[in-house]
């Protein structure tokens, strides 16, 4: 036991980590006090990464037989390790797709961890599963899916997309077998998606050993039905799924979901919507008009850790008919018979993950606390701000919008700048703790982008960033 963590009633060594003692009470008090300071802070810096050499110098070895003790360990984290991580919920974190969890969701994440909850089965976590399912049903309703739609919260969009596509292939295979055909078509299975689809679709296809048929989007980045029809006609019954993007990561572009969905009249395929970032926009009257056709999807995903203000890491996977997910993903083993023989809603039956924490609970608590209207206002703010700053960019000499924003991603260029110029500018912004805005590119041309999801991001903050490009 380290100095400073001594307990007048020491526990046996084998029980020390799990017993309630003075040492334990001290650890809990330290952690909760730090968490309170962090959650309620109004001046948390952006911070930035440090080199491995610098972290080794500052932190030194932290794992030993004797242990550092809780005070020293927390001090290393607070003063050395945490500042070497960029603060993703900072209003001026505008790269990739930020995370901006609500205060209620952050606080309740502590409760979830403290409560020793398992979220894989109804038997072990009925209350947690009930709450998660209420959120999933609310999302399904917002997306126009029928009553009875549902699914599971998984780790992230990659796992969500993979799980949905596995269910899609399982359905296609079962249909062939019922028709007396071999389970795998000649040439193997294929999935159709935009050439600009998220990288996780290709990753899922590699894992599943299926082909990806990338279809060129139009000049505006939108995948349209005519191009998808051509791909379906060429590949025939090899195609088991079409993936439409509901808000691309790079531009926030929404594919022609309604047109693609209409192709289901002529072709038998599973329509999956990758809405990891953008599908949340359906909560706002400014975003909903872009999403016609989502109501015909067989599955959708949306990441609450992006624009639904939940902590990392969580993805909502929603099936039109959850039975397809259950048929594809239920795991069978002797030790699981007690679960699979019961007619209960077990979340682990609906994705490739068996063991799972109830990662949807922080979102449930935040929704239950603030109400859906607060979410609609926050999402609307981001879309309106993106349009306003896009107008400002168009007014400024030397700056050029690459595309008008559909949702809340604004991509723009500085005349005459090469990639090295963007790199220097981005590094300077972070060094000065002004913002985290990294370079991007499109069609071989360097650019940069604002990804706006944080309700605390203000127009004045964005214009100050633009001023630094002059």
Burial (0-12, 13-18, 19+ Cβ within 10 Å), 103 = middle
pLDDT for residue 438: 98
pLDDT at 116 > cutoff 60:
yes
Class of domain 109-370: alpha beta
C-beta of residue 130 within 8 angstroms of C-beta of residue 121: no
pLDDT-based confidence at 3, cuts 50/70/90?
Answer: very low
User: Residues 6 or more apart from 92 whose CB is under 8 A from it?
Assistant: 46, 434, 435, 436, 457, 461, 465
What fold does the segment set 372-467 form as a domain? 3.90.1150
* Eight-state DSSP code of residue 134: H
**What does pTM read for this prediction?**
0.95
C-beta of residue 318 within 8 angstroms of C-beta of residue 140: yes
Taking the domains of the chain in order of start, what are their residue ranges?
53-78, 109-370, 372-467
Other CB atoms closer than 10 Å to residue 264's CB: what's the count? 16
C-beta of residue 107 within 8 angstroms of C-beta of residue 332: no
pLDDT-based confidence at 333, cuts 50/70/90?
Answer: confident
Q: CA nearest 321: which of 157, 189, 146?
A: 146
Q: CA nearest 214: which of 196, 229, 236, 199?
A: 196
Which tens digit of pLDDT belongs to each residue from 268-319? Answer: 999 999 999 999 999 999 999 999 999 999 999 999 999 999 999 999 999 9
Distance (Å, whole) CA 408 – CA 387: 8
User: Residues 6 or more apart from 133 whose CB is under 8 A from it?
Assistant: 150, 345
Up-side HSE of residue 336: CA atoms within 13 Å toward CB? Answer: 13
User: Residues 6 or more apart from 50 whose CB is under 8 A from it?
Assistant: 58, 83, 84
Query: Residues of the chain with pLDDT > 90: what percent?
Result: 94
Question: In 3-state terms, what secondary structure has residue 93?
Answer: strand
The residue among 5 and 350 whose pLDDT is bigger is 350
Distance (Å, whole) CA 263 – CA 423: 43
Burial 353-377 (b: 16+ CB within 10 A, else e): bbebbbbbbbbbbbbeebeeeebbe
pLDDT for residue 191: 98
Q: Is the bond into 313 cis (omega within 30 degrees of 0)?
A: yes
């Amino acid at each position: 036991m380290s100095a400073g963590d001594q307990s007048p009633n020491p526990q046996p060594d084998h029980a020390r980590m799990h017993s309630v003692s003075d040492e334990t009470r001290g650890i809990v008090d330290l952690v909760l006090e730090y968490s309170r300071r962090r959650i309620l802070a109004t001046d948390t810096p952006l911070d930035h990464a440090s080199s491995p050499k610098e972290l080794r110098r500052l932190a030194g070895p932290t794992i030993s037989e004797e242990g550092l003790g809780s005070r020293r360990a927390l001090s290393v984290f607070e003063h050395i390790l945490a500042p070497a991580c960029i603060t993703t919920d900072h209003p001026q974190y505008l790269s990739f797709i930020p995370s901006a969890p609500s205060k209620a969701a952050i606080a309740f994440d502590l409760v979830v961890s403290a409560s020793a909850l398992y979220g894989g089965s109804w038997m072990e976590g009925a209350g947690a599963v009930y709450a998660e399912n209420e959120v999933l049903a609310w999302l399904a309703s917002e997306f126009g899916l029928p009553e009875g739609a549902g699914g599971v919260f998984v780790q992230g969009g990659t796992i969500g997309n993979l799980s949905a596509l596995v269910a899609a292939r399982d359905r296609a295979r079962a249909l062939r077998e019922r028709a007396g055909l071999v389970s795998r078509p000649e040439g193997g299975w294929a999935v159709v998606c935009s050439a600009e689809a998220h990288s996780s679709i290709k990753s899922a296809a590699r894992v599943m050993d299926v082909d990806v048929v990338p279809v060129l989007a139009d000049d505006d980045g939108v995948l349209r039905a005519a191009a998808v029809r051509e791909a379906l006609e060429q590949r025939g019954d090899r195609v088991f799924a079409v993936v439409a993007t509901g808000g691309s990561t790079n531009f926030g572009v929404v594919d022609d979901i309604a047109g693609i969905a209409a192709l289901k009249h002529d072709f038998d395929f599973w329509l999956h919507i990758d809405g990891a970032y953008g599908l949340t926009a359906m909560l706002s009257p400014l975003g909903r008009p872009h999403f016609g056709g989502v109501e015909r999807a067989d599955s959708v995903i949306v990441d609450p850790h992006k624009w639904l203000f939940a902590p990392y890491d969580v993805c909502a996977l929603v099936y039109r008919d959850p039975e397809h997910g259950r048929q594809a993903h239920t795991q069978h083993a002797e030790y699981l018979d007690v679960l699979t023989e019961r007619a209960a809603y077990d979340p682990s039956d609906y994705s490739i993950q068996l063991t799972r924490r109830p990662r949807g609970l922080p979102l449930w608590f935040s929704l239950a606390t603030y109400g859906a209207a607060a979410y609609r206002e926050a999402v609307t703010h981001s879309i309106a701000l993106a349009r306003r700053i896009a107008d400002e960019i168009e007014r400024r000499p030397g700056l050029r919008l690459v595309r008008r924003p559909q949702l809340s991603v604004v991509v723009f260029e500085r005349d005459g700048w090469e990639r090295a110029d963007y790199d220097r500018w981005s590094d300077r912004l972070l060094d000065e703790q002004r913002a985290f805005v990294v370079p991007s590119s499109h069609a071989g041309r360097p650019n940069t982008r604002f990804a706006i999801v944080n309700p605390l991001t203000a127009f004045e903050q964005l214009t100050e960033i633009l001023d630094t490009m002059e």
